[in-house]
Each structure stands twice: as structure tokens, then as C-alpha cells.
């Protein structure tokens, strides 16, 4: 989901291209996108765009006639700039905003269409979309502390709650907690003053850093690669990859569609956080620390034969080098391509041995099998019933 840095850069580029321009057409083949009916969307046609602003993770358009358009991209919604009159994609396309010098296309990947458009009249109507969270880059330490300690929650939940902080989501909350060296499950009520100060500095530095990076990446163009998974991130989306500080494998907690990534040595003092479903399944076998997990992994690696280890090492090197997209994806989640190759090689050996061996010949030959005589076709037919039907 586009968060504060992504939405801020979107707004900057939209303002540069569309502010002062007149909307000449609006196309919307999706029946799920527009969530309001009064005023109707056709009232926007012929109106000038007066400006843009951010409201949490939403993009707000200001038009002539006190009309305000609220766009929420949700998880998979994206904006793309095309030539004037550009067609709407069949599967991904949701809407098109036509201007004289180009067309702004709204797309959404996936089958769950969650992006939304609300058209309201008057600035006061925007209050219905304000979740009440404070702007993390516009407050001081005292205001930050007051918002953070308002409820006793885990740090992950507190940072991503729009009623507490505005614009922070799953991706940047992972990065913030990593740079603050705090556990995602630590309760806000247990924080000391030094922890709050460290978290406050991490929030500001992380959001400002990524806003600057995205702004420099886009330049004078338009954001095309808006994603929550970036190679420069420290922990988010980097499960099983080495931590940039200590080299420990990044771990995760999965719950429904959300995933929390963290470094156990930098953030939790070596403790391995329970992965809900997996930890419940393993129960007492669940490793309690990263050291215990690494010991088990080393024991498994040593129990493999030298040939298997060589195949796994070769497959892992291929996956890390990015030789194939399939290998890279396999290396990221679960077993590596080398492990699968070793398994296939192990299974192939008994088959080859079985194929090469011949059955020992017996002394007495049974001779050719006896031929059974078929019954005549007439005998196979069913006898007619009393009514004369077969």
C-alpha cells in the first residue's frame, strides 16, 4: 500500500502536471470504484484542478465549485500517466482522467478491488475521511509521546493505526522499528523515555529519507514503480536475508495478509518471536531464540551428504545471482532450488537402479499365457424385460 513517502511524491508530481488544468473527460468502466452518487462524477468534467493534498494515505483533489475528490489507492491501486485518450486496460484498469495534454490512468492489480473514489461538496465534508492520527513529520517530541502512549498497544500496531499516526503502514513501520532497535511486539506502556526519543528520531529520519529517495528516483517524470518492497530496505520484505548491521537472517511474523519483518539480534535481544500458526503447530519444538534456530539449521546441514551439500550450494548461488526468476523466488521463501535438485537426484538413483536390474530367470518356464475365449455378443446382451424394453 502506498504510504506517506509514496503518496507525498504522487502529490508533488500530480501538482506539477495537473494543477490549473481542466478535466475534459472521465471514464470509469468499474462499477466498484465510485462510492458516492451526490454530487455525480459528471460535475467534474469542465472544472479546473486547483490543487492536491494528502489526507492520511489518501490523495485529495480540489476542483472548482467547492468539489473535492478523495482517492484511496488501498494496497494494489496505482496511478499511471499516459498520452491523451489512452485506453483503459481490460483487467487492471479502473478509471481514466482525461486532460488536453495527457490522461491519468488508475489501475489496480489483483481480484480484490479495494480502491475507492469519493466526490464530496465543501471542505468540511473531508472530515469524514480523517481518521484523527497526527502527522508524524509535523509534531514535536511531546506531541509524539502523547499520541504514542494514548493506548497500551504493541509498537507495530501503534505505528500503523491511522487514529494515532497518519500515513504510516506496514512497510515503513518495519523500517522505523529496525532503526530504533525496538521489538515490534513491545508494549507502548513499557517504553522508557530513551525508547520514545529513539523511536521519534527513527520515525522522522526514515520517512524523510525515503521521501527524498523516491523524489530523486522519479525526478521530473511520474512515479511508475511504486512498491512496498525495495532492495534498499533494511528488513521489510527481506525474510531470511542477512541483516545489514549484524548479518543475522531477518525473521518474520505472519498474520492474515500482513507480515512483520525484524532482526532478532538488533531488535529483540536474540529472541525469536512466535509466528502464530507455525509456533502453535510446532508447540514445544518451536525455537525460542535465534541461536537455537541456527544450531538446528547447522545440524541439518551437517547431516546431509557431501554431494547433497554441493548441489544445494550450487543452487543457492544460482538463486542469489538472479540467474532465473524462479530460483530467486524459491530462495526467498522456504526451500532453495538446490534442495529441490538434491531431492530429485536422490529420488532418481533408486529408479535408475531398478530400471537397470533384470529379473532372475526361473528354471521352469510357465509357457505362454492361456487364451480365454470370449462369450458371443448375443450372450452379452440383456434379456428383454416384460415390457419389451432392454
pLDDT tens-place values along the chain, 390 residues long: 899 999 999 999 999 999 999 999 999 998 889 999 999 999 999 999 999 999 999 999 999 999 999 999 999 999 999 999 999 998 999 999 999 999 999 999 988 889 999 999 999 999 999 999 999 999 999 999 999 999 999 999 999 999 999 999 999 999 999 999 999 999 999 999 999 999 999 999 999 999 999 999 999 999 988 998 999 999 999 999 999 999 999 999 887 778 899 999 999 998 888 776 655 555 566 565 776 666 666 677 777 767 776 776 676 566 555 444 444 444 344 444 445 555 555 555 454 444 555 555 544 445 555 555 555 555 555 555 555 554
Topology of 4-129 in CATH? Answer: N-terminal domain of MutM-like DNA repair proteins (3.20.190)
List 104's β-bridge partners, or say none.
81, 97
What is the separation, in whole angstroms, between the first and last Cα of the chain? 68
Name the nearest CA neighbour of 307 among 351, 350, 345: 345
Q: What pTM value is reported for the model?
A: 0.75
In degrees rounded to 5, what are phi and psi of residue 260?
-105, 125
Find the angle CA(157)-CA(160)-CA(161) to the nearest 5 degrees. Answer: 80
Is it true that domain 141-218 has CATH number 1.10.8.50? yes
Residues 101 and 18 sit within 8 Å (Cβ to Cβ) = no
C-alpha cell at 5: 513517502
Each domain of the chain, given as residue ranges in start order, spans 4-129, 141-218, 234-312
So what's the pLDDT on residue 344?
Answer: 55
DSSP state of 49: E
Name the nearest CA neighbour of 117 among 180, 189, 48, 63: 63
Residues 6+ away with beta carbon under 8 Å from 272 = 251, 264, 286, 287, 288, 289, 290, 292, 293
Cα radius of gyration rounded to whole Å, the chain: 31
Residue-wise DSSP of 241-269: SBPTTT-PBPEEEEETTEEEEE-HHHHST
So what's the pLDDT on residue 369?
Answer: 55
So what's the pLDDT on residue 317?
Answer: 63
Total Cβ atoms within 10 A of residue 155: 23
Tell me: cis bond preceding 39? Omega within 30 of 0 counts: yes
So what's the pLDDT on residue 257?
Answer: 73
271/268 Cα distance (integer angstroms)? 5
C-alpha cell at 191: 517504553
Residues 6+ away with beta carbon under 8 Å from 268 = 183, 262
So what's the pLDDT on residue 386?
Answer: 55
Give me the sign of the Cα torsion angle 177, 180, 185, 187. Answer: negative
Amino acid at each position: 500500500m502506498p504510504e506517506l513517502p509514496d503518496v507525498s511524491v504522487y502529490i508533488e508530481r500530480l501538482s506539477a502536471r495537473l494543477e490549473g488544468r481542466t478535466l475534459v473527460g472521465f471514464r470509469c468502466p468499474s462499477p466498484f470504484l465510485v462510492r458516492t452518487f451526490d454530487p455525480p462524477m459528471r460535475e467534474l468534467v469542465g472544472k479546473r484542478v486547483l490543487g492536491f493534498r494528502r489526507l492520511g494515505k489518501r490523495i485529495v483533489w480540489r476542483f472548482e465549485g467547492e468539489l473535492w475528490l478523495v482517492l484511496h489507492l488501498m494496497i494494489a491501486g496505482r496511478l499511471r500517466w499516459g498520452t491523451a485518450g489512452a485506453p483503459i486496460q481490460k483487467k487492471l484498469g479502473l478509471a481514466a482522467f482525461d486532460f488536453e495534454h495527457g490522461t491519468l490512468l488508475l489501475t489496480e492489480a489483483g481480484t480484490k478491488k479495494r480502491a475507492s473514489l469519493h466526490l464530496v461538496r465543501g471542505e468540511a465534508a473531508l472530515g469524514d475521511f480523517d481518521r484523527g492520527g497526527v502527522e508524524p513529520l509535523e509534531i514535536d517530541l511531546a506531541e509524539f509521546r502523547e499520541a504514542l502512549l494514548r493506548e497500551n498497544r504493541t509498537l507495530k500496531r501503534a505505528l500503523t493505526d491511522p487514529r494515532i499516526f497518519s500515513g504510516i503502514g506496514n512497510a515503513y513501520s518495519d523500517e522505523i522499528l529496525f532503526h530504533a532497535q525496538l521489538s515490534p511486539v513491545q508494549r507502548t506502556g513499557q517504553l522508557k523515555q530513551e525508547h520514545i526519543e529513539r523511536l521519534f528520531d527513527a520515525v522522522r529520519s526514515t520517512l524523510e529519507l525515503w521521501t527524498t529517495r523516491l523524489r530523486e528516483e522519479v525526478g521530473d517524470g511520474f512515479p511508475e514503480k511504486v512498491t512496498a518492497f525495495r532492495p534498499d530496505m533494511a528488513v521489510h520484505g527481506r525474510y531470511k536475508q542477512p541483516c545489514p548491521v549484524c548479518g543475522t537472517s531477518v525473521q518474520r511474523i505472519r498474520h492474515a495478509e500482513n507480515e512483520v519483518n525484524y532482526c532478532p539480534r538488533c531488535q529483540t535481544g536474540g529472541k525469536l518471536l512466535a509466528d502464530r500458526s507455525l509456533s502453535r503447530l510446532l508447540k514445544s519444538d518451536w525455537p525460542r531464540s535465534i541461536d537455537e534456530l541456527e544450531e538446528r539449521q547447522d545440524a541439518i546441514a551437517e547431516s546431509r551428504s557431501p554431494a547433497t551439500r554441493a548441489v544445494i550450494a550450487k543452487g543457492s548461488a544460482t538463486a542469489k545471482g538472479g540467474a532465473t526468476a524462479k530460483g530467486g523466488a524459491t530462495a526467498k521463501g522456504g526451500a532453495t532450488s538446490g534442495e529441490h535438485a538434491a531431492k530429485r537426484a536422490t529420488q532418481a538413483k533408486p529408479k535408475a537402479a531398478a530400471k537397470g536390474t533384470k529379473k532372475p530367470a526361473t528354471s521352469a518356464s510357465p509357457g505362454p499365457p492361456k487364451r480365454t475365449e470370449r462369450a458371443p455378443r448375443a450372450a452379452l446382451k440383456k434379456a428383454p424385460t416384460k415390457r419389451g424394453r432392454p
